[in-house]
Amino acid sequence: MNILFTKEASLELDDAVIFYELEQKGLGLLFKREVKRMLLLIRQYPEIGPTEDLSIRHILLHKFPHKILYSIEVTNIIVLAIAHQHRKPNYWVD
């Protein structure tokens, strides 16, 4: 399966990487690696994440307060958000 990002999810990923890199040199790279690791896990086991809302699933990142929200389509996994868990809950729904 291909993993595709929505425009918003891609921007969230970039913003989080920049934020963490500004907090501590190298932390942004660690964040990006963790996202990539979890995406590989999702690709291998698409239904690993519990459902968030109907057909939307999520998986929590380790060591970072973020989760990846995604949906499974016929041939693609669509990343809808790289959501910070302590900010506006369900902001991504709209």
**pLDDT tens by residue, 17-33:** 999 999 999 999 999 99
pLDDT confidence of residue 31:
98
Which segments of 6-92 does DSSP mark as H helices, in order? 7-23, 27-44
d(CA 26, CA 77): 28
Mean pLDDT of 84-93: 69
**What count of other Cβ atoms lies within 10 Å of the Cβ of residue 31?**
23
Identify the band that residue 94 occupies on the pLDDT scale cut at 50, 70 and 90.
low
- The domain segmentation of the chain, as residue ranges, is 2-93
- Reported as half-sphere exposure (CB side, CA atoms, 13 A), residue 70 has a value of 30
Q: Which CATH number fits domain 2-93: 3.40.470.10, 3.30.2310.20, 3.40.1350.10, 3.40.50.720?
A: 3.30.2310.20
pLDDT confidence of residue 89:
61
